[in-house]
Structure formats: structure tokens, C-alpha cells
Amino acid sequence: MEFVEELRLKKGAIQENWIEKILDSYPSRGRDYYRTKKDEFLNPVGTVLSSRAEAIIESLLEGFDHSVLSTLLEDVIKIRAVQDFSPSQALAFLPLLKQALREELQTVERAEAWPREFEEFEARIDQMTLLAFDIYTGCRQRIYELRIDELKRLQGSPRSRRAAKESLNDPERNSREAGGYQ
Amino acid sequence: MAERKPDEMGYYDQEELVQIDYDPPRSGWMDTPVDFRPGSWIYPGKPRHLEYLGLANPRQWSPTDDDWQLPPNWKEIIFEGMRERLDKYRTFKIFMDCCVRCGACADKCHFFIGGGDPKNMPVLRAELLRSVYRRDFTTAGKLLGRFAGARELTEDVIKEWFYYFFQCTECRRCSVFCPYGIDTAEITMMGRELLNLLGLNVNWVIEPVANCFRTGNHLGIQPHGLKDTLEFFADDIEEITGIRIDPPINKKGAEILFVTPSGDFLADPGTFTCMGYMMMFHELGIDYTWSTYASEGGNFGLFTSHEMIKRLNAKIYAEAKRLGVKWILGGECGHMWRVVQQYMDTMNGPADFLEVPVSPLTGTVFENASSTKMVHIIEFVADAIRNGKLKLDPSRNDHLSVTFHDSCNPARAMGFFEEPRYVINSVCRNFHEMPENTIREQTFCCGGGAGLGTDENMEMRLRGGLPRGNAVRFVQEKYGVNQLACICAIDRATLTTVCDYWAPGVQVTGIHELLANAMVMKGETERTLNLRLEPLKEEPEGDDV
């Protein structure tokens, strides 16, 4: 059997293993909720993680489609970039795919059977991890841009706003404080 | 790290890979102290604002300090504060006792859904307070300690309260599902009241409160500033419609006093909503007035203490009395209506010196406001539209595909669902609802209410805004929605950011902005600009000249 065929055969198990590993990064009550609640609107985190994990594996089996993988990764990383994770924790789910892969293939000792194919597949995961790094930093940058945008909406030029601001005559007040309490 | 090569099993073991900690804490919730990560907490209140308001323990401090400079007798203060409130507020006593931990609320909080932190489950957030209550106010807790869910009050517990009670937006989505009717927002309110006794509060709340106490609005806009602001709005309106509006300010003897959140004076896109009010009032020709003293519909006292709600809210009635108006009309705001609907009447009312509100246009009596004498502007305008008092051209909004976010407080504190939808459907022709379990009484919060709408806790806000943003993205992809309408000033500010992150391309608007763009005013020139001063029609593409 070819390596890719073997992977396809084991895809369900690898995917399940990987998703469990990803979910393990959350506190137990959160993890249970993300795992069990199937409604995409009540559980966006769990449903996005599992659906994108499945699609990522599917895509990797086909090769390395930069744009497809970018979109899929962005959906996941966007979430993890605002959760309680350090950068390394946020992206740790990607190398964990390697672990899931090895655990699931180990039973039939296939990893050793196709050293080259195996290495190639893992190289795709490495490549994806680097891509994820770009996406993560993009998300974090976006968060800071959003903070600036909020201030700009308060500090912009329309004349109607200027008048209100001019009357804020507290000498201690700095520009950051000058607005935004609705 | 064990010596392994990359092609060996175990090389990628969780424990060894880059030696990071993948695992969340495995200790019990009572023993897991708070980690104050940047992005998840809010700057503390500045001493000068506390001093201005006469609040306890004004000082410079930061949540990341080891020593929070609590008063020496801080424990005594908290216990005394709890005792006093348990006696004074029957709801607090009941809510401390009657939870059976059924878990119905557990998965309803947007912060829990977005981040998975169990202490954001409303039941556990309440347990932070209940555990202390049990140990010192119940016999079972005194005798059995932890077996009865009781724990000692320590400085770490206070830090935990500060962290989590300022991670609750008091949106009350969880309360909808509680079979005992526990109003979890009131538990947060009590938690914050107790924290305030030690001088623990956030600047995003306490500065607006101080401003409002001094000038009448959260932003601290003084009378001349407000007058100029409204006149500049009038300039923009004149540019758009050719009609000059002269906004009445502090007009004694006017029939109606109009009060709106001050965010509408300063922050886009609320400013466009404010222009919409002015145009609507002008077109209907009603006898109303703005006030430069009661110039705030919102009430950040709600996020501080009951006493503070009362102090700020009293200004509205005092001004209504001074001006001699008949009744009060309130603008598009969220928590303002929680205050008006559920606290104002017993705190500062009944407002017997005012009259039961009657629409001067249609004769409709607003019996629901017969005690508070304060009517929501959407009810008022829905009644006007229903009775044919406004000429509308909804085709002007044809470039918009609109969805409606039920703002938490009008939805859950007022049961206010149909009127906003009626007005939206009257002024635009492409309206699409978000999924059923994310709207109406089950609506998801913006993640920035109850004084959380600042920028230093942006990660937390975006985490909390995920369920809402996710539903917006769904209608964006399915129906091409590009406009999110709402009737809350905090929403207008914070959902703009939530959409920019979770559903980029969707803009946020107040309903009166949509209305004013569709409204055909008597004597107006042909409209070429919308309220944002953007061209109404795309310029035809062609050769450059």
C-alpha cells in the first residue's frame, strides 16, 4: 500500500487524535464544552477547530496549497491569537499533528516503511508551521491596529467632533483619555 | 530534554517539544491564582477620580503589583460590606443561597464560549463570591469548610474577584437560562460594589462616572462644547439636505426632554445616529429640547454601585423638573434602559411631576412608561412610521444588506424585539436575521459592555465578541450582509472592532442613521451624500478626465 493511501485509511484516527491534542490545551470544562457542543453558533471554537483540522489534513494529503492552507489556518489562529495562550502555546497545535501522525501510524509501523514519503509529509507540516507564524503575527498586529483604529475614530477630523473635544479642558487629561465612554 | 533524533518516536512529545507548557492548570479552581496577562485586564481607576467622587482608598496602583495597597482592615470592610448588602438587598441574599449548581448557565457566557476559562462560567463566577459568603455567613460553611464549598477570604481571592468581575459585561444572557431566575449581573454588581469599598475599580468606569457627576456626561463635554457639537452636526446636515436645523438647547417649557448617550456626540458611527435624531425631530416638528446638564443617557454608575447609579440618574429627573418638560425621550442606548426600566423608578421616582408620555403626533399613550415617564426613541419613531408621519424612501438604502444585533439590555431588560425590526424594515429593503439562537433574548453580547469597552483589554473583548462576530460572519457569507444595525452606543463603538476582526467588511450603524438616510424631508435638495458624507451612488467608471 502506498503511503498516501495508508494515510487516507488512517485519516479519521489521525484527525481525532490531533483534535484531542488541540483541545487538551484548554482547561477541562472548556475542553469538554468545545468537544461536545455541536452547534456552530453556540460553539464557534470547537466547531472551527475540528472542521478546519479535518480540512487541513485533507489539504496536506494533496500537497501544499498555500492559499487553501492559509485560509484554514487563519480561521483557527485568529481564535487562538486572542485566547489565553503565549505565542508558542497558540501555535503548538501544529507540531502536535506530527505526534498524532506517528502515534496512529506506529501501530502498523508504517513510518519506517516509507522514510522518504514520511519525511516529505512532515516537511509540509513544518512549512505549515512557518506559514502559521506569519498568520499569528498578522493577527496580533491586527489587534494592535484595532486598538489604534478605536482611538482614531475618536480623534478624527470631522468638525462636529472637534468642538466637543475642545471643551474637554482638564489640563491633566491626555489624548488617550479624551473619549470613548459611551 | 531526552536525546532523541527528529525521526524518532517521542521527539515530538508534548512535554519535550520546545519545552512549553501546553497544559492548563490542573489544580482546583479555589487554588488556582489569577495570572494577570496583558490584554485581559483594565487599567485601575486614577486617584483623582476616586477623590472627586469621595470613593475609598484613592492611590496609584496596578493589578500586576504584588501589593495592591489595600486598607489594613480590608477583610473587615468586605465582611461588613457583605453583611450590609445581604440585609439591604433581598435579591443578593437569595442569589447567594438558591443556586443548585445545575449548570444551565455554565455555557451561556460569551467569554466562556470564546476562551474556555471555567471561571467565566456564570455559575463559577458567582461561586467566587458565594464561597466566601458560605464560610462566613452560613452554618454549614462555618462547620464543614471546603466540603460545603466554602473558602477563606484572602488577598488572592480579592484579586480573583477584580479579574473576573471585570470580565463580566452584565449582559444577562446566562440569566435567561437560570431556572431559579438568578440575575447573575446583580452578582457581578455586588462583587464590584464590594471591590469599590477597597478602592478597586477600573478607570474606564470611574473616569466617566466622575465626568458625569461634574459635567452631566461621561465624556466631560461642557455646555458650550455640546452646543457647538450639535451646531456642527447641523452644518453637516445642511450640506447633505440643504435644510438648516436649529437644535433647541436647555429650552424651558419644551414638551419633551431628549437624553442620549454622550458617545453619540463624539465617536463614529454614533455621531451619524445623533444627526439622524436631529433630522427626525426636525421633520416631525416636535417641541423638544436637548440639555447640556442631563447630557448623558448612559449611566456608568451601574458598573460601580447602586448609590452611584442613583447619583447620576437623579440628574435626568432634576433637569426635567428644572426645564418643566412633560416627559422624557431617550436615545439609542443599551444599559441606560436597564437603569430606566429596572432601577430609576424606585431609586429616584416616581416622577409624579411629569405627565404620562403621549406622542404629540399620533396621540399614542406610552402606558409602559407611565411611571418612569421615559420613552425609548425607537418606540416613538415606530409609532410615527406606523401612523404615516414620516415619508420614507427605503431604496436609498438599497446598497446595504442589513442585519440587526439585539443589544443586551433593550432585549433582555425591556423585551424590546419588534420595534427596531419594524423600523429597519421600513427604511431598508434587504434585511437578514442572524441565526435564531444568537438574537432576541438569546442575543450575544458585543464583549465590551459594563465598562469593558476600553482598548487595553482588547484580547478579552475579541474573545468575548467571538460568538457575535461568528454569527455576523455567517450572514455576511450567506446573504452578503454589509451593515450591522444596533441600538446601543457601546455596541456602535465596540462592534465596529468586533466586526473588523471577525467579519471584516461589515460596518456598524445606529437605526436612526439608516432612518435619516431614507427619510424624505420637506424642502430637501436632492441627496447626493449619505450621513457619512459618502456619495450615495458609485461614480460611473470611465475615462479619466
Question: Measured between CA atoms, how close is A116 to chain B, in angstroms?
Answer: 11
Give the nearest chain A residue to B270 (CA atoms): A182
Question: Measured between CA atoms, how close is B471 to chain A, in angstroms?
Answer: 6
| CB contact residues (below 8 A), chain B span 416-455, against chain A | 435, 437-438, 453-455
Q: Which residues of A touch B17 (CB under 8 A)?
A: 92, 95-96, 99
Confidence of residue B196 (pLDDT cuts 50, 70, 90): very high
Q: Which residues of A touch B235 (CB under 8 A)?
A: 159-160
Q: Which residues of A touch B493 (CB under 8 A)?
A: 150, 153, 180, 182
pLDDT in tens, B38-48: 999 999 999 99
pLDDT above 70 (res B14): no
Question: Measured between CA atoms, how close is B26 to chain A, in angstroms?
Answer: 8
Least confident of B107-116, B263-272, B302-311, B379-388: B263-272
pLDDT above 80 (res B32): yes
What residues have CB less than 8 Å from B240, skipping those under 6 apart?
Answer: B527, B529, B530, B531, B533
pLDDT on residue B536: 84
Q: How many CB atoms lie within 10 A of CB B61?
A: 17
Whether residues B267 and B358 fall in one domain: yes
Give the nearest chain B residue to A98 (CA atoms): B12
| Chain A with chain B: Cβ pairs closer than 8 A | 217
Confidence of residue A117 (pLDDT cuts 50, 70, 90): confident
Classify each residue of A1-19 as buried b or exposed e, where b means 16 or more C-beta atoms within 10 Å of its C-beta. eebeebbeebeeebbebbb
Mean pLDDT of B202-222: 95
pLDDT on residue B209: 97
Domain boundary among B167, B201, B235: B201
Q: Is B490 on the interface with A (CB under 8 A)?
A: yes
Q: Is B113 on the interface with A (CB under 8 A)?
A: yes
Q: Are B241 and B276 in contact (CB under 8 A)?
A: no
With respect to residue B391, please indicate whether it lies within any of the assigned structural domains.
yes
pLDDT above 70 (res A134): yes
With respect to residue B174, please indicate whether it lies within any of the assigned structural domains.
yes
pLDDT above 50 (res A177): no
Q: Is A182 on the interface with B (CB under 8 A)?
A: yes
Whether residues B152 and B133 fall in one domain: yes
| CB contact residues (below 8 A), chain A span 7-46, against chain B | 21, 24-31, 33-34, 37, 39-45
Q: What is the mean pLDDT of chain B?
A: 93
Among B9, B300, B435, beta carbon nearest to A41: B435
pLDDT on residue B544: 53
First CA to last CA distance, chain B: 69
Q: Which residues of A touch B48 (CB under 8 A)?
A: 172
With respect to residue B436, please indicate whether it lies within any of the assigned structural domains.
yes
Among A43, A106, A167, beta carbon nearest to B224: A167
Whether residues B96 and B225 fall in one domain: no
pLDDT on residue B290: 98
pLDDT on residue B297: 95
Confidence of residue A181 (pLDDT cuts 50, 70, 90): very low
Query: CA angle at residue B428 from B422 to B430, to 5 degrees?
Result: 100
Domain boundary among B175, B201, B227: B201
Q: How many CB atoms lie within 10 A of CB A172?
A: 7
Q: Is B104 on the interface with A (CB under 8 A)?
A: no
Confidence of residue A162 (pLDDT cuts 50, 70, 90): low
B24 contacts A28? CB cut-off 8 A: yes
Closest CA to B37 of B463, B460, B467, B449: B460
If DSSP codes are grouped into helix, strand and coil, which group holds residue B90? helix
Whether residues B231 and B346 fall in one domain: yes
Q: Is B492 on the interface with A (CB under 8 A)?
A: yes
Confidence of residue A179 (pLDDT cuts 50, 70, 90): very low
Question: Measured between CA atoms, how close is A114 to chain B, in angstroms?
Answer: 12
Mean pLDDT of B135-162: 94
Whether residues B274 and B137 fall in one domain: no
Among B20, B117, B455, beta carbon nearest to A30: B117
With respect to residue B6, please indicate whether it lies within any of the assigned structural domains.
no
If DSSP codes are grouped into helix, strand and coil, which group holds residue A23? helix
Domains contained in chain B, number: 2
With respect to residue B527, please indicate whether it lies within any of the assigned structural domains.
no
A26 contacts B114? CB cut-off 8 A: no
Closest CA to B127 of B182, B179, B74: B182
pLDDT on residue A182: 37
Strand partners, B330: B259, B376
Whether residues B308 and B259 fall in one domain: yes
| CB contact residues (below 8 A), chain A span 55-114, against chain B | 78-79, 82-84, 86, 88-89, 92, 95-96, 98-99, 102, 106, 111
Q: How many CB atoms lie within 10 A of CB B9?
A: 13
* Residue linked to cell 435638495: B525
Q: Which residues of A touch B9 (CB under 8 A)?
A: 102, 106, 111
B261 contacts A41? CB cut-off 8 A: no
pLDDT on residue A178: 39
Fill in the DSSP letter of residue A178. G
Mean pLDDT of B400-407: 98
Q: How many CB atoms lie within 10 A of CB B38?
A: 10
Mean pLDDT of A108-134: 84
pLDDT on residue B537: 74
Whether residues B505 and B395 fall in one domain: yes
pLDDT above 50 (res B36): yes
Among A37, A102, A111, beta carbon nearest to B107: A37
* Residue linked to cell 443556586: B99
With respect to residue B525, please indicate whether it lies within any of the assigned structural domains.
no
With respect to residue B1, please indicate whether it lies within any of the assigned structural domains.
no
State the complex-level ipTM: 0.91
pLDDT on residue A108: 56
Identity of the amino acid at B173: R
Q: For A29-86, give the DSSP string.
A: HHHHHHHH---TTT-HHHHHHHHHHHHHHHHHHH---HHHHHHHHHHHHHHHTTSS--
Confidence of residue B3 (pLDDT cuts 50, 70, 90): low
Least confident of A103-107, B145-149, B334-338, B426-430: A103-107
Confidence of residue B443 (pLDDT cuts 50, 70, 90): very high
Q: Is A125 on the interface with B (CB under 8 A)?
A: no
A160 contacts B229? CB cut-off 8 A: yes
Among B20, B220, B437, beta carbon nearest to A89: B20
Q: Is B458 on the interface with A (CB under 8 A)?
A: yes
With respect to residue B220, please indicate whether it lies within any of the assigned structural domains.
yes
Q: Are A128 and A77 in contact (CB under 8 A)?
A: no
pLDDT on residue A173: 44
A42 contacts B497? CB cut-off 8 A: no
Q: Is A158 on the interface with B (CB under 8 A)?
A: yes
What's the domain range around B276? 209-518
Give the nearest chain B residue to A179 (CA atoms): B219
pLDDT on residue B18: 46
Q: Is B248 on the interface with A (CB under 8 A)?
A: no
Is the CA virtual torsion B43, B44, B45, B47 positive or negative? Answer: negative
pLDDT on residue B181: 94
Question: Measured between CA atoms, how close is B319 to chain A, in angstroms?
Answer: 20
pLDDT in tens, B498-543: 999 999 999 999 999 999 999 999 999 999 999 999 988 766 655 5
**Residue in B302, B455, B507, B513 to test binding to A, most A beta-carbons within 10 Å:** B455
**Residue in B266, B408, B443, B472 to test binding to A, most A beta-carbons within 10 Å:** B266
Q: Which residues of B touch A26 (CB under 8 A)?
A: 24, 116
Q: Which residues of A touch B208 (CB under 8 A)?
A: 181
Whether residues B314 and B221 fall in one domain: yes
Question: Measured between CA atoms, how close is A47 to chain B, in angstroms?
Answer: 11
Using CB atoms within 10 A of its CB, is residue B111 exposed (0-12), middle (13-18) or buried (19+)? buried
Q: Is B48 on the interface with A (CB under 8 A)?
A: yes
Whether residues B180 and B224 fall in one domain: no
Whether residues B193 and B259 fall in one domain: no
Percent of chain B with pLDDT over 90: 89
Mean pLDDT of A114-133: 90
Confidence of residue A180 (pLDDT cuts 50, 70, 90): very low
What residues have CB less than 8 Å from A88, skipping those under 6 apart?
Answer: B18, B20
pLDDT above 90 (res A142): yes
Domain boundary among B143, B178, B201: B201
Q: Is B14 on the interface with A (CB under 8 A)?
A: yes
pLDDT on residue B23: 62
Mean pLDDT of B275-300: 97
Among B208, B266, B470, beta carbon nearest to A154: B266
Is the CA virtual torsion B486, B488, B493, B498 positive or negative? Answer: negative
Whether residues B392 and B265 fall in one domain: yes
Mean pLDDT of B118-124: 95
Whether residues B268 and B406 fall in one domain: yes
